[in-house]
Structure 1
């Protein structure tokens, strides 16, 4: 059994991680660290886990766990690892953005590998530390990587993607309050979203001459979970050729599926799937990508990475059912 520790256990990402781990056949939960909730039953914070988990949050850390998940929020993992020491045998999976970019991936003697399985499965399998991708970055990269692999991203790329309210985290804010979010729709960080850096990095890994702009408009949707992303760019080939390219690129992917028909968000919510659809019109290739932002875009992908690191069958603990209605 893999002994697991979680740092920062009270947020949406950690809650989703716990829901998956308590049903993972190869895992035992050693501790869930939270300074603000130490001594509080986990099922009091994550009420849907009542009857599934009987331990409490703690402020005591076991430095010898087999794998450590960092769910601290962006920019806080580096400071935590500077203050706390773990065994050289402890594998670390960071769900924040601290180690996703190449220049940040060596820290205190630990080398982090960017954890997008569809991009670099073999590197993940031999990695000791993983930088889990961002949610928007996951949906967008999976939509673009087949084109990059064939050097076909030669013009500007336009992306419009909408995420649910859980993407903003558990702490309430002006744009997450129900009375603001309900029956509402808005954009934010237009053309400047932080996930653009990791998207560009991955595309250039497959197409090193890529230097065209990505115009990304992120939106806030008035639903809880999921990301619905559309991307379009000029494409010289036929729709049939594009579909064959995507089918080939993802033929061995366990969780990324190319659909022959148009797709919608409920096909993936509460699963670790990414479903893609491609079509061509007036010289433009349109790619649609849908994921659950907290599972495929965060905690599910982190467990997928853990499975790869420990040589476990990739779908273990992740064979989940979508909310079809």
Structure 2
């Protein structure tokens, strides 16, 4: 059995990790760490675990495990990673500390000093459907952000194939409130969010450089995007609508065929039939992603739509998918859940 530790287990992504790992046949969760709740039982803080997990939360002194999931605020994982790696513990970081390759970019957007910039060269970006070969055999995985996951699944295959222009890409994304975490913030209160719909982080959202970095890698040239996230009064889900110009002579069929070539053998990615469009409910509680597109000849632009669950494919489910790769397991192990409907 693979022994598992989770740092930051009381957050939404940490809880989701525990829920999913609890049904994984090849792992044993032996350590749950929480700086704020050490000494309490996880079931006292998260009552939905009462019948399944009765573990006492420990301090953040990580014991010997095979892999530790770090579901921590940015700036913390980078200070802890080297010591864990030197002990032979694999790391899957669900935060932002190892996603950006350039330390100056990280420090500019996240406004903290990176504790260990030399580790950025060792970290591998963990979006399996696009970077599977790079993940295999590594020890430090940077789990992607939720918005970047939804955006890249739609864009990267088309950019790699030269079917869309790299300039002028617009990403308009909507997320459920769980994406903001469990912190008590006024603009996330029920009365602020309910029956409301708003843009936030316009032009300054921290997922922007992550998306630009990965799209730039896809074409080996700098890509600059317009990215605007929105908060929707629902718990889970991301729906991303993307607008991009197509290159000369490209048809809608070419675009669809590119997606099919990339994803038809992928268990978690679904190119939807003609006339059917992704909905967040299709992915609710699952590690699946749904894609659709339409070419608009009037504007010579393609509209791409993707839907994922921000806590699963956008965070904890993808982290487990990465773990399965690291330990030579089928990627679907422990992730066979279908979505909750309605």
Alignment partner of 1:90 is 2:107: no
Show the 5 A alignment for 1:109-148.
111-148=122-159
2:286 pairs, out of 248, 260, 271, with: 271
State whether residues 272 and 278 of structure 2, in contact with CA within 8 Å, keep that contact through their aligned partners in structure 1.
Answer: yes
Q: C-alpha deviations, 1:243-282, integer Å up to 9, x for none?
A: 1111112133221111122121100010001110011112
Residues matched between the structures, number? 323
In 2, the alpha carbon distance for the partners of 1:216 and 1:192 equals: 9
Instruction: Give the 3 Å change call, closer, same or farther, for CA 262–75 of structure 1 in structure 2.
Output: same
- How far 1:146 moved relative to its partner? 1.3
Structural mapping, 1:62-73, within 5 Å: 62-73=62-73
SS in structure 1 of the partner of residue 35 of structure 2: coil
Among residues 226, 231, 253, which one is paired with 1:240 in the alignment? 253
Counterpart in 2 of 1:75?
Answer: 75
* Structure 2 residue aligned with 1:55: 55
**SS in structure 1 at match of 2:124:** strand
Matched, 1:292 2:309: yes
Q: Secondary structure at the match of 1:133?
A: coil
Whole-angstrom distance in 2 between the partners of 1:188 and 1:267: 25
- Which stretch shows the higher mean deviation, 259-268 or 161-170? 259-268
> Does 34-43 or 15-24 show the bigger shift?
34-43
Match of 2:184 in 1: 172
Distance 1:249 1:51, change over 3 A: same
Q: CA RMSD in A?
A: 1.7
- Which segments of 5 or more consecutive residues in structure 1 lack a partner in the other structure? none
Q: Distance in 2 between matches of 1:240 and 1:152?
A: 11
| Deviation digits for residues 138-170 of structure 1 (CA, Å, limit 9, x no counterpart) | 001111011111123323011110101101110
Whether the 8 Å CA contact 1:124–1:130 is kept in 2: the answer is: yes
TM-score, length basis structure 2: 0.90
